[in-house]
Chain A
Amino acid sequence: MAATEKQLEQAKRTVRLIIERQKDANSEPYEEEFVVPYRAGMNVIAALMEIQRNPVNARGDATAPVTWESNCLEEVCGACTMVINGKPRQSCSALIDQLDQPIRIKPMRTFPVMRDLVVDRSRMFAALKKVKAWIPIDGTYDLGPGPRMAEAERQWAYELSKCFTCGACVEACPNVNEKQSFMGPFVISQARLFNTHPTGAMHKADRFEALMDEGGIHECGNAQNCVQVCPKGIPLTTSIAAMNRDINWFSLTRWLNR
């Protein structure tokens, strides 16, 4: 009996969403409001799926369903990152019960918006390539086992490895904008991760050079929004300061050694 009443109560509840939409990469953004039925435990993606099922806006007009990207649904792939109630975060782990309504959803405008909530994050991958955010292990012959990594270092380096290139730190950073070319906080932390690995450290200088280049570490202005919005709690500002120390030393000694 009680269960039935609860179900009835739930059936009446709705979720209000105001979504900033865009038809394609070149058109102007506009807002559209939606009201979808509430279900216990639903996340923002479940609400977007409701709109997909019944693409009618709050005024009752038929509309194109809202497009978005999502993949893992467990906050490890970063694909569904969008700005929800003013903060960039993954929509899979954004639970409706914990959000103020109407829920305002926008795409991350730091990146080129392709359509609705879908953005093109290629610039992040270009940045990772620029700093060689990997450990080269291939050779023309068997290179043998690499050097061992100290457990104490591995422990904190593991925290840095949780970065899934979601773009939240890039979106929140005031110095990533159209007036300058800052690559973003994540890439500095990734360079630090691969510099810490004993095999990765063999390419330390390349990563330092890349971070002294255009869009590098010097364009950080210490607003520190990145560390606040990172869904994985990665100590991005610590990585930036630690890399500042390394890179300043690297550039100074290189100049004096010439």
Chain B
Amino acid sequence: MATAAVMSGNAANRGFLFRRLHTLSGVIPVGMFLLEHLFTNATATVGPGAYNNAVNAIQHIPFLHVVEFIFIFLPLIYHGVYGLYSAYTSGYNALQYTWARNQLFIWQRITGVITFVFIIYHLWATRFSGQEPNFEFVHNLVSQPANFIFMLVGVIAATFHFSNGLWSFFVHWGITVGARAQRVSAIVLLTLFVLLAAMGVVSLVAFVQGW
């Protein structure tokens, strides 16, 4: 965290900087990558050829490993590990205070932990499996019921965490300030969650069905 020391110039501001980097990294680039990933997967609904073409295009990005490390792995690890710490230090009082926003506060943390575990499994089963990523490989993977259920839970948790996290991002960055603006953004972003989750599930089903 060399940038941290430079940016803060003051040890007391470190907490502020770490938190802000956490909300920022969740959207840029991790959230953007999630969207890209969901859209790539959705090409499976068009057919194996479309999916294999999309994967092939990604495989030909120049300096792929560097891009992947800087724009995906590094921010993802930071967001995930700091998020676990943040979930640990949060208090949980939704049994006493049952308002919707307080419930969502807890679900944000629950889905964060689920997504963290899911991503580790997901990376191990696909990215670091040593196998060629193509339609057939994914088809064989998700055709196993246990894998399918794990993928289903992972997709729903990740899309909820992204959509609800984006609501929080807009507050943390002072974009939605008033109560009305925050209410509207909640409706829009929960709709986004439903759409993204549906897209993820439909793609999963397309992988299972084959063609």
Contacts and interface: CB of A to CB of B under 8 A. Distances in A.
Interface string A221-258: 11111011100000101101111111011010001001
Given A221-B105, A222-B101, A222-B168, 17 more contacts: A172-B97, A177-B89, A177-B90, A214-B12, A217-B16, A219-B15, A221-B86, A224-B105, A237-B179, A238-B179, A241-B171, A244-B173, A244-B174, A248-B173, A248-B174, A251-B16, A255-B7
Contact of A245 (B9, B19, B177, B182): B177
Given A237-B182, A241-B171, A177 B13 contact: no
B93 A212 contact: no
A175 B91 contact: yes
A213 interface: yes
B176 A241 contact: yes
B147 interface: no
A64 B86 CA distance: 43
B172 interface: yes
B13 A213 contact: yes
Contact of B99 (A225, A235, A251): A225
A228 B177 contact: no
Assign chain B's interface to a size class.
20 to 34
B142 to A, nearest CB: 35
Interface of A: 86-87, 172-177, 179-180, 212-214, 216-219, 221-225, 227-229, 235, 237-238, 240-246, 248-249, 251, 255, 258
B174 A176 contact: no
B102 interface: yes
10 contacts: A173-B91, A179-B88, A179-B89, A213-B12, A213-B16, A214-B12, A223-B101, A228-B99, A235-B178, A251-B20
Name, among A224, A228, A237, the residue most crowded by chain B CB atoms within 10 Å (CB to CB): A224
A179 B92 CA distance: 12
Nearest to B19: A218
Contact of B173 (A175, A238, A240, A245): A245
Which of B16, B96, B101, B173 gathers most chain A CB within 10 Å?
B16
Contacts of A219: 15, 19
B20 to A, nearest CB: 6
A216 B16 contact: yes
A175 B90 contact: yes
A174 B92 contact: yes
B194 to A, nearest CB: 21
A241 B177 contact: yes
A241 B174 contact: yes
Given A225-B99, A255-B7, A174 B174 contact: no
Interface in B143-172: 167-168, 171-172
Contacts of A223: 97, 101-102, 105
Contacts of B12: 212-214
A60 B15 CA distance: 54
A240 B171 contact: yes
Contacts of B101: 222-225
Contacts of A180: 89
